[in-house]
Amino acid sequence: MTEKLKKRCIIYSVGVLVYVSAIEATIHLTLTDRVKFIWFLIAYLIIGFDAFKKLEQNLLQKKFLSEYTLIILATIGALGIGRYVEGVLVILLFELGMIFEAFSRDRAKKNIEELINIRPEYATRKVHGREFKVDPSALKPGHIIVIKPGERIPVDAVITSGTTSIDTKAITGEAIPQSAWPGDKIYSGCINLNGVIEAKVLELYVDSTVSRIMEMVEDAQNKKAESETFITRFSRIYTPLMLLGAFAVMIYPSLTFSYGNWDTWIYRGLIFLVIACPCGLVLSVPIAFLGGIVTAARHGIVMKGGNFLEDLAKADTFIFDKTGTLTEGVFHVKEVKAIGMPNEELLRIAAHVECHSNHPIAQSLREAYGKEIAENKVYRMREIPGYGVNATFEGERVYVGNNRLMEKQQILCDDVSQPGTVIYVAVGKKYAGYIVIADTIKEDAVDTLQYLKEKCKAVLVMLTGDTKSGSIQVAKELEMDYAYADLMPEDKLEQVEDFLRIQDGTERLVCVGDGINDAPVLARADVGIAMGALGSAAAIEAADIVLMEDELPRIIDAIKISRETLRVVNQNITFALVVKGLILILAIIGYFGMWEAILAEVGVMFAAILNAAWVARYNV
């Protein structure tokens, strides 16, 4: 419980004690009406302290009509006609509901922090052979840290010595420990299990993986979903209508068929206001969406806002990147065809030119070469997204990339058409041959896409920068509805814009990608989903949903969570409106008094809140 909430509970408890003492005094002592009024008024002002503050804030923001307006008007009216016990009881139960809602939010936030806020209290830095414990925020890129068995990794780093197993469950949701060797990147928040390792810091503490994720989760609690916005708009219309209805109940009968019976009808009008207060709706909707965010986090899915839960539930168009998303992203050299030199020499040149690139294609070339890379022979390396790499190797400028790179350099090359990715190599301005690299489709891709087609009636689209020869074959195997290849990042964005233009207001478009090149479309889509994007700050920033493990079925989990959240939200809205409608009718004709109205309103409110809180325990 936060300090603010503790203070609020203390003030509330004092008010309740004053209220109880006022009731006791009324029962056992003979008091004047003036003394009773002052005693109950003090209790009323203490208990309603936070409600008055909220009303003041709303008035300053020119939000004149809200649930606070209804409840305070009703209670002031009850005090005005001498219904002191009932008037204070209404504000007491209303404030109890608000405290319960604040406590639920506090617990939900704490649950998220327990799931994700796993930043260690210290780090062990090594300087000139000596070890020092320091605050993780004091670490800078390039520092050497020592991580012992059982310790959490303080910041993102790369192992320089030692081998171990890493528990990545807190970050990726993966239960099986991962082996880690020198050269492997390790992420903050994970646990070193069984070996002493040294690592070089890659990121500042504030830029580490866990810190970025925590910021997203905290921001998510400040973002409103469409249904929440609906409740806000609903309150603006609902509140004045209820006020007019209450005044009509107070005034019209006393001027017509029940002439002069002001006390009765003013009392019924106040009951009307108490019942009309939309507390259950206003409180339960944000709790339901927060519960959905908590559930998603528990399953390794970070939602940046409740609005993306709602949009995902409505999604009917899914656009996927290919490499690393639908396919493993682990390439293997399938064929080497050199011109004017041995195939081994062509592979050696390509592997050296790509030695500084982290692209999966570069890694596959180095693996296929299988020998030590002489990095000191490679100079002025330049990587051009969507084209390839060029560098100076052994005194000559070498170009390694796709046919667009060859065209850009005005180099004539073979037109190779076969499944896989074709990498062309030119030494100087002379074409030297090509290398075919093949990728494999992920095992879970077929089942995931089948679910989207059957359960979401989705249109499936693939956008990729790879060649048609390899991409179209993948699209056919996965039974995609549309496939576009040879796309630059701006071309992908243009295709997404085309699909967005043909959608109506009830449809939503989802883009799924895994890297920096996908950032523009992830940002533009109604919902952008980043696949296993722990190392890509651009993907995390651009995406609306981040899957902490590179597994396509997590998309299905996210959809199920979003649908369950919306089901509960719609349940709460329907239940509250139906019950309120029935009680309002009974109150007008005199079957419900203030006490019954209070209990009914509190019952609706707590039932809605408890139903909404259940979402946080939902399991897919």
Catalytic residues, by residue number, are: 321
Question: In whole angstroms, what is the distance from residue 536 CA to residue 524 CA?
Answer: 18
Contact 566, 595 (CB under 8 A): no
- Where do runs of H (alpha helix) occur along 357-444? 360-369, 403-408
Contact 287, 399 (CB under 8 A): no
293 CB-contact burial (10 Å; exposed 0-12 / middle 13-18 / buried 19+):
buried
Q: How many CB atoms lie within 10 A of CB 430?
A: 11
SS3 174: coil
At 220, which helix (H) or strand (E)?
helix 209-220
Q: How many CB atoms lie within 10 A of CB 116?
A: 21
Angle between helices 306-313 and 553-588 (to 10 degrees): 100
Residue whose structure tokens are 């409110």? 605
Question: In whole angstroms, what is the distance from residue 585 CA to residue 205 CA?
Answer: 60
Strands 315-321 and 508-513 turn out to be parallel
Q: How many CB atoms lie within 10 A of CB 287?
A: 26
Name, in order, each residue with C-beta under 8 angstroms of 399's C-beta and a sequence gap of 6 or more. Answer: 388, 389, 390, 405, 406, 409, 411, 424, 425, 426
Q: How many CB atoms lie within 10 A of CB 164?
A: 21
Can you name the residues that pair with 186 across neighbouring β-strands? 157
Query: Distance of alpha carbon 345 from its chain centroid, rounded?
Result: 49
Question: In whole angstroms, what is the distance from residue 440 CA to residue 136 CA?
Answer: 40
Q: DSSP letters of 28-43?
A: HS---HHHHHHHHHHH
Question: In whole angstroms, what is the distance from residue 284 CA to residue 287 CA?
Answer: 5
Question: In whole angstroms, what is the distance from residue 439 CA to residue 447 CA?
Answer: 19
Query: Distance of alpha carbon 495 from its chain centroid, rounded?
Result: 25
Contact 189, 170 (CB under 8 A): yes
Residue 139 is encoded by which pair of tokens? Answer: 């670490």
Order of strands across the sheet with 178-180?
178-180, 164-167, 191-192
Name, in order, each residue with C-beta under 8 angstroms of 359's C-beta and a sequence gap of 6 or more. Answer: 383
Question: In whole angstroms, what is the distance from residue 361 CA to residue 366 CA?
Answer: 9
Residue 266 is encoded by which pair of tokens? Answer: 């003013």
Residue 600 is encoded by which pair of tokens? Answer: 């009914």
Question: In whole angstroms, what is the distance from residue 355 CA to residue 126 CA?
Answer: 29
Can you name the residues that pair with 528 across neighbouring β-strands? 511
Question: In whole angstroms, what is the distance from residue 337 CA to residue 414 CA?
Answer: 11
Question: In whole angstroms, what is the distance from residue 208 CA to residue 219 CA?
Answer: 17
